[in-house]
């Protein structure tokens, strides 16, 4: 008879603090190109008219449009690339 060694293992603990503050517009993105969206707060989703399923896993370029400042986007991308090298 097989023994289940995980039968008495403690269940994984859930974070006591939420990962995002849903009262604020927040995105969490991966630190590796193409910088995919990992989490989006409810406030961000509501403000931008997206469903969570429409943004999670998508590159952050999803929210860039004609009005996006190319210089600012470049600075942010460079900062992420430098941080990844550290």
- DSSP codes of every residue in 9-67: SPPPPPPSS-SS-TTS--EEE-SSTTTBEEEE-HHHHHHHT--HHHHTTSBGGGG--TT
More confident residue, 9 or 47: 47
Whole-structure pTM value: 0.65
Is 7 among the domain residues? Answer: no
Is 50 among the domain residues? Answer: yes
Region 40-65 average pLDDT: 92
Is 42 among the domain residues? Answer: yes
**Rounded Cα distance, 35 and 25, in Å:** 18
Is 61 among the domain residues? Answer: yes
The mean of the pLDDT values for the chain is 79
Structural domain tally of the chain? 1
Range of the domain at 73: 27-85
Distance in angstroms between the alpha carbons of the first and the last residue of the chain: 50
């Amino acid at each position: 008879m097989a023994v289940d060694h995980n039968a008495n293992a403690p269940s994984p603990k859930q974070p006591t603090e939420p990962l995002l503050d849903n009262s604020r517009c927040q995105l969490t993105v991966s630190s590796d190109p193409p910088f995919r969206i990992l989490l989006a707060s409810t406030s961000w989703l509501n403000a931008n008219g997206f469903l969570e399923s429409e943004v999670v896993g998508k590159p952050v370029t999803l929210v860039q449009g004609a009005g996006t400042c190319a210089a600012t986007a470049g600075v942010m991308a460079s900062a992420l690339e430098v941080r990844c090298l550290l």
